[in-house]
């Protein structure tokens, strides 16, 4: 992320349990009306995702569960465990309108800006004197 990023990764989070933890890869896009967060979470059951926004922080946590094996394992790179990521939101977000959807292993979070945080076009009056 750049210095001007609208969401910043919270560096203060510490693990409180032993085990494997993952940091989902995230892209963040800003439009005039909202912030969009795309989190890659392949193999995650959407029922194992906890997403909440409180006091300017967006918290994403959940669990990557083991796959059901239908035969002997020959090669293994897929890992299981908890994932956790916190973002400090620098914009004024309308928390009552936050929405999220999960499709094809990608969580998309819509963080709508409050009216006061949206860019405003200022009309210019022209005097013909």
Architecture of domain 24-66+78-116: Sandwich (2.60)
Measure the CA–CA gap between 82 and 47, rounded to whole angstroms.
13
Measure the CA–CA gap between 78 and 7, rounded to whole angstroms.
29
Q: Which residue has the tokens 């959407």?
A: 46
pLDDT digits (tens, 9 = 90+) for 59-69: 998 888 888 88
pTM of the full structure: 0.72
- Give residues with Cβ within 8 angstroms of 98, minimum separation 6: 53, 109, 110, 111, 112
pLDDT digits (tens, 9 = 90+) for 33-77: 999 999 998 878 899 999 999 888 999 988 888 888 888 988 887
Measure the CA–CA gap between 30 and 12, rounded to whole angstroms.
24
Token digits of residue 71: 């035969």
Q: In the prediction, which pLDDT does 17 show? A: 56
Beta strands in 7-118 (DSSP E): 7-9, 21-22, 25-30, 34-40, 49-54, 57-64, 81-89, 99-103, 106-112
């Amino acid at each position: 992320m750049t210095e001007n990023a609208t969401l910043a990764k919270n560096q203060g989070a510490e693990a409180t349990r032993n085990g494997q933890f993952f940091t989902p890869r995230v892209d963040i896009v800003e439009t005039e009306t909202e912030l969009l967060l795309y989190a890659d979470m392949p193999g995650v059951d959407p029922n194992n995702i906890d997403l909440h926004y409180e006091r300017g922080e967006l918290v994403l946590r959940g669990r990557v569960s083991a796959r059901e094996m239908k035969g002997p394992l020959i090669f293994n790179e897929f890992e299981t465990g908890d994932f956790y990521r916190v973002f400090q939101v620098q914009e004024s977000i309308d928390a009552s309108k936050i929405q999220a959807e999960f499709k094809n292993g990608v969580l998309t979070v819509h963080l709508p800006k409050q009216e006061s945080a949206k860019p405003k076009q200022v009309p210019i009056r022209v005097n013909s004197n």
